[in-house]
Structure 1
Amino acid sequence: MTTDVVRVSVPRASGSHNLRAVKVVLHRELLRFVNDRTRMVSSLIQPVLWLFVMGTGLGSLVRASIPGIDFRTFMYPGMISMTVITTAMFSAGSIVWDREFGFLREMLVAPVSRSAIVVGKCLGGAVVASAQGVIILALAGLVGVPYSPALLLTLLAEMFLAAFTITAFGVMLSARMRNMQSFFGVMQMAIMPMIFLSGAMFPLANLPSWLHVLTTVNPLTYAVDPMRQAVFGHIAVPPQVDAMLNPGVTWFGHKLPIIAELGLVAAIGAVLLGVAIAQFRRSE
């Protein structure tokens, strides 16, 4: 009696398989976001409170020194960034949740490149964070920012770039974490300093040398500043107020152009994406 041996072959990963994997992971992130109404609302509460409560309170203190502009207009780009970074990090954190429930292992054993899974995750997080940021964009008129199509499209593009970089950072952090408690602890430790040292809530002009250094080495600074320059480019502001609130980022006394700041954010995002992919290739 002979026993027939059935050969089982697993298809090799190909470009089309990897592209489909990116689409599937991206689609899953969108579905998860749309179906989680609590997350959508909760991630908006903090930036809205900062913008309308803290911004109004601080504005009453500095109104005499910044004539012709609402302080909330200054804070507006920073609140966009706060919304984007929070949503992007939560999207990246879902990897830890997937690992706890075993879904991540099923994705990793699929006949697709692990890099496709990471790219899909980063793109999904960027799209979700940008969609959340659109809600803040809709509030522009309430803080003196015009509804200019050119401005809104510029802010949207800059939001997406920042969201992709932050999601890649979050994916890199979550690659080796085993529980959500650890991730949330690290996330809070990373998010708050990045937000406070980005110039989101205070001008970058005339800072003490030690604080100037910290804002300069903070990657989020180079995402917030282009948004602020885009906003200030579409409103009428006295020159002395513009110099005070919108000085730009300087290296050794020289102001960085916007394209250099955006290029730096893109480069950091590419490096973080590469590190995240390397982490996943060594995990599980």
Structure 2
Amino acid sequence: MIEVIYIRWLRQLKHYWRSKSRLIGSLGQPLLFMVAFGFGFGPMYTKASGGANYMDFLAPGIVSMSILFTAIFSGLEVIWDRQFGFLKETLVAPISRTEIMVGKTLGGATIAMIQGLIVLCLTYLLGFRVPGLESLALGLVFMLLIAIFFSGLGLAIASKMKDMQGFQLIMNFLIMPTFFLSGALFPLENLPPAIYFISRIDPLTYGVDGMRGALAGMSVFGVYSDFATLFTLSVLVCLIGAFLFSKVEA
């Protein structure tokens, strides 16, 4: 079982490493958001918050965004494999489909983690600082949970689709509201009740809030509450993904 999961995980990483354009291109949007929002809204945030640094608030949200986009689009590989016949060959092999799904999920999550770490390093160039190693370790836990949740979600959706363009449209429909309503760019306090309610049922909200609490000491719901919620959701979405993948037809 471990060998099968490792092979699927390794295949994901090799695809990522060989696609240098994918690695470099996925850094463009986080950098744009950091520069545009960091320097554009930074002075206003500082005045409104009584001198707080907006980059300390923004950086965990941008790292979460990078992980979100990279992780959820890992589901594209399922559709890609289906179109080129590799998925059919995999499914008829004498191995469990759950093992295949776990390997793909961990591979997508690892790639998303690498991408998130690269963006986290870039935030240092813009003035963001992690308080210490304990904060960094806790932040990495939240990064991993975000990566696992959205990798599992992407694979679960991809297992029920055969059209790559349709998958991209659905993902874009889900990703942008998920990101913008998570509190990654603005504080959740004092929001209109309807928007605040939607933010509370957004899984990324707990990832962003947990990372912000771990890396910058700013948390609305509490780090442990964020961890418990995101951990539960990650396990749940992986179980659903494993069930849907077990029903997939090549």
Q: TM-score, normalised by structure 2?
A: 0.94
Deviations 1:23-61 (CA, angstroms, capped at 9, x unpaired)? 110000010111111111111111111011222101133
Q: Which residue of 2 aligns with 1:278?
A: 243
Q: Which residue of 2 aligns with 1:155?
A: 139
Matched, 1:55 2:38: yes
| Distance (Å, rounded) in 2 between the aligned partners of 1:149 and 1:137 | 14
Q: Which residue of 1 aligns with 2:55?
A: 72
1:247 is displaced (CA, Å) by 5.3
Out of 29, 50, 54, the residue aligned to residue 46 of structure 1 is: 29
CA RMSD of the aligned region, Å?
1.4
CA contact (8 A) 1:122 1:168 kept: yes
Question: 5+ residue gaps in structure 1?
Answer: 1-17, 234-245, 250-256
Query: In the comparison of the two structures, how many residue pairs are matched?
Result: 248
CA contact (8 A) 2:158 2:167 kept: yes
| Distance (Å, rounded) in 2 between the aligned partners of 1:270 and 1:221 | 17
CA contact (8 A) 2:181 2:202 kept: yes
Q: Identity across aligned pairs (percent)?
A: 35
Distance 1:169 1:62, change over 3 A: same
1:150 is displaced (CA, Å) by 2.2
1:146 is displaced (CA, Å) by 3.4
Q: Which residue of 1 aligns with 2:81?
A: 98
Out of 115, 119, 124, the residue aligned to residue 136 of structure 1 is: 119
SS at match of 1:143: coil
CA contact (8 A) 1:97 1:179 kept: no
Residues 115-194 of structure 1 aligned to structure 2 (within 5 Å): 115-141=98-124, 142-146=126-130, 148-194=132-178
1:280 is displaced (CA, Å) by 1.7
Matched, 1:209 2:174: no
1:147 is displaced (CA, Å) by 6.3
Letter in structure 1 aligned against 2:41: L
Structure showing greater relative contact order (alpha-carbon pairs closer than 8 Å, 6 or more residues apart): 2
SS at match of 1:138: helix
Letter in structure 2 aligned against 1:205: E
CA contact (8 A) 2:75 2:151 kept: yes
Q: Which residue of 2 aligns with 1:248?
A: 220
Runs of 4+ in 1 over 4 A off after TM superposition: none
Deviations 1:197-225 (CA, angstroms, capped at 9, x unpaired)? 10001101111111110100111101110
SS at match of 1:139: helix
SS at match of 2:29: helix
Out of 181, 189, 207, the residue aligned to residue 223 of structure 1 is: 207
Relative to its length, the structure with more helix (as a share) is: 2
SS at match of 1:206: coil
CA contact (8 A) 2:156 2:240 kept: yes
Letter in structure 1 aligned against 2:185: M
CA contact (8 A) 1:70 1:143 kept: no
Distance 1:63 1:116, change over 3 A: same
Greater Cα radius of gyration, structure 1 or 2: 1
Letter in structure 2 aligned against 1:168: G
Distance 1:264 1:63, change over 3 A: closer
Letter in structure 1 aligned against 2:210: P
CA contact (8 A) 2:45 2:52 kept: no
Letter in structure 2 aligned against 1:272: V
| Distance (Å, rounded) in 2 between the aligned partners of 1:173 and 1:146 | 35
Letter in structure 1 aligned against 2:223: I
Deviations 1:175-201 (CA, angstroms, capped at 9, x unpaired)? 011121011001101100100110001
SS at match of 1:220: helix
1:159 is displaced (CA, Å) by 0.5
Deviations 1:235-282 (CA, angstroms, capped at 9, x unpaired)? xxxxxxxxxxx4503xxxxxxx32222121121111111111111222
Question: 5+ residue gaps in structure 2?
Answer: none
